[in-house]
Amino acid sequence: MWLQFNPGRIVSTGAKVDARSIRERRCFLCVENLPEPQKGIVYKDRFLILCNPAPIFAEHFTISHIHHVSQILGPYIPAMLDLARDLSPQLTVFYNGPKCGASAPDHMHFQANPTGLIPVENAAQKKLHRVFRRSLDSVDILTLRDFGRQVIVLESLHRENLANVLNKLLDSLRQTVGVSEEPMMNVLCSFTDGAWRVILFPRSKHRPDVYFKEEAERVLISPAAVDIGGLIVTPLEKDFKTVNALLVESIFQEVSLPPANVDETILRLS
């Protein structure tokens, strides 16, 4: 795990994402509300590729839908796979669920970062972590051992098969956690040597208890895809100087879905 001090991320880490706050602010991803100097690249007439105004990486992009539609992965899984392929090998695409990391839960968007800079991307390739669980419709399903949080990895050469299995995985997660809406999750997607890899972090909660403590004891870590992937962003200098591995590990365990639930989710797939 790596720790990054990044004061510019206070807007995202400290974002109010309750329903009332969302209703009362202008959507900063809608085209009409973008800063006047900001330029973008239209992708397949549906998405706009923008430079992230508070970057975590030297190259950090926000890929927002051109229309104001809710943040939900299911209908846009093919788009995510296409983006990962078309932006490869330089960039990895990632997605934060509306209830666990997306600072604009009311506007569909992905993000992209230089491939290999989020530690889980490298861990997912190492034999000591990889645990093969099963294969379904030419899609390999794995988990990662000794990683401090629960991870499900899907790998395939076949776009349609992978999209179908990922949809089934989301349905299975819904049943496991007992919700009708999208289950809480963070997702990374990359394309290398003709194959896709989807890394999914199933979540049980958005922010850890330490996030809501009184000022002296509060730690402003709000795990999203980058953080739970192993690059923890701290917008406050005091946190950067005091956060240690034990605290981060406890945060990950608190916000991750328990192992038994992950096993149940994988077994249910058919």
For the ranges 2-16, 191-205, 250-264, the lowest mean pLDDT is seen at 2-16
Q: Is the model's pLDDT at 91 over the cut of 80?
A: yes
Segment 166-180 mean pLDDT: 97
Ranges of each domain in the chain: 2-17+71-102+114-205+257-268
Q: What is the pLDDT of residue 12?
A: 79
Torsion over CA of 250, 255, 261 and 266, rounded to 10 degrees?
-110
Q: Is 178 buried (19+), middle (13-18) or exposed (0-12) by CB count in 10 A? A: exposed
- What per-residue confidence (pLDDT) applies to 103? 85
Residue type present at position 245: A
For 234-240, what is the mean pLDDT? 95
**pLDDT tens profile 42-72:** 999 999 999 998 999 999 999 999 999 999 9
Query: CA-CA distance, 78 to 51, in Å (whole number)?
Result: 22
- The pLDDT value given to residue 215: 84
- What are the Cα distances from residue 188, in Å, to 118, 155, 180, 224, 270? 9, 12, 23, 11, 23
Alpha-carbon distance of 127 to 67, in angstroms, equals: 42
Q: Which residue has the tokens 């989301």?
A: 170
